[in-house]
Amino acid sequence: MLRNVSDEVKKQYYDPQLHGIDWDAKVREAKERIDKADSLNKALSQVAALLDSLHDSHTFFLPPPRPYVHDYGFRMQMIGDHCYVVGVRPGSDAETKGLKPGDEILTVNNYAPAREDFWKMEYVYNVLRPQPGLNLSLRTATGEPRQVLVDAKVRELPPKRDSTGDRIFDVIRDMENEERVFRVRYAERGRDLLIIKLPRFLLSPSEVDSVLGKMRNYGVVVFDLRGNQGGGDDTLRPLLGGLFDHKVKISDRVGRSSTKVLETEVRYHPFTGKLVVLLDSNSASASELFARVVQIEKRGLIVGDHSSGGVMEAKHYS
């Protein structure tokens, strides 16, 4: 894995100088640490640490899937410069231990969450090195300090998934559930206000047309991009294009061999009403570009928290 990661980065990374890092030396150091690692998780962590040396929000290591589903039973999020519990799963150990939305998380396993590297903490505990439990130092909404150990729920998966015969419907059901989570959702408030919840920028051309067509029937549209961690410019360009009657620059796309200007895609009959865009600390990448263009062009009002600061592009390499 280390060798594959090293080769792909040297061949594909947008900056051939790798920000001035002595990459080969970093790889040698990682190999030495892997040789001394006493567990698979610690060895995998060295591959992740190598990529982390690039300080790039979109270049990271996805380890092989585990043979289990792991769930701490609660969600946390940065709001401003503070970390809060924002959701608790009913029936979980977190609920049993009294966690509630609004509790401020001061430390997780003695580590204080900070906005600039909160995503790394979630990456370590949820993806790279899932823990049997998390030791939380909390402050409740009433200001009471608490120390809580939350046990994770771990569900073993079958060694090999059977997708033959009737079992194929389990696979189809999982795909449909994922599509349902990431579908575009609408809420109407009277005849003049439309709220659009867009979970990600991964829409087909017909879905983009449907969103823009629906917007034209309203005087005010609210784009809810909270939690939207991005997607593709093939959705971003036409969706932004539906807000202007002319081409607008989105960004300079800096690649390995050239820099290109990314512009909106001109659409017929653009939306001309009032626009509001909602963001939070989990809004990233294409969401940030969407909001920033609206802000720079004075096309609408941006409301919410500072976004994540992860404006990059990435491609998955198996």
Report pTM. Answer: 0.88
Spatial separation of the C-alpha atoms in residues 211 and 216, rounded to whole Å: 9
The top-scoring range by mean pLDDT among 132-136, 157-161, 164-168 is 132-136
Question: What percent of the chain is modeled with pLDDT above 90?
Answer: 78
Spatial separation of the C-alpha atoms in residues 246 and 51, rounded to whole Å: 40
- pLDDT for residue 163 is more than 90: no
Would you give the distance in Å from CA 34 to the centre of its chain?
A: 28
Spatial separation of the C-alpha atoms in residues 99 and 18, rounded to whole Å: 43
Spatial separation of the C-alpha atoms in residues 147 and 135, rounded to whole Å: 7
**pLDDT value at position 156?**
85
- pLDDT for residue 180 is more than 70: yes
**pLDDT value at position 82?**
96
Instruction: Point out the least confidently predicted range of 8-12, 102-106, 313-317.
Output: 313-317
Q: What is the mean pLDDT of residues 244-260?
A: 94
Domains 68-156 and 179-304 share a fold: no
CATH among 2.40.160.20, 2.40.50.140, 2.30.42.10, 2.40.50.100 for 68-156: 2.30.42.10
DSSP secondary structure string for all residues of 142-210: TS-EEEEEEEPEEEEPPSS---SGGGHHHHHHHHHHHHHHTS-EEEEETTTEEEEE---B---HHHHHH
Write down the domain spans for the chain: 2-52, 68-156, 179-304
Residue 80 CB-density burial (10 A; 0-12 exposed, 13-18 middle, 19+ buried): exposed
Give whole-number Cα distances, 177 to 18, 118, 135, 172, 182, in Å. 39, 28, 32, 9, 9
Residue type, 50: L
CATH dotted code for 179-304: 3.90.226.10
**pLDDT value at position 112?**
96
The dihedrals phi and psi of 265, each to the nearest 5 degrees, come to: -95, 125
Residue scoring higher pLDDT (197 or 181): 197
**pLDDT value at position 161?**
62
**pLDDT value at position 157?**
76
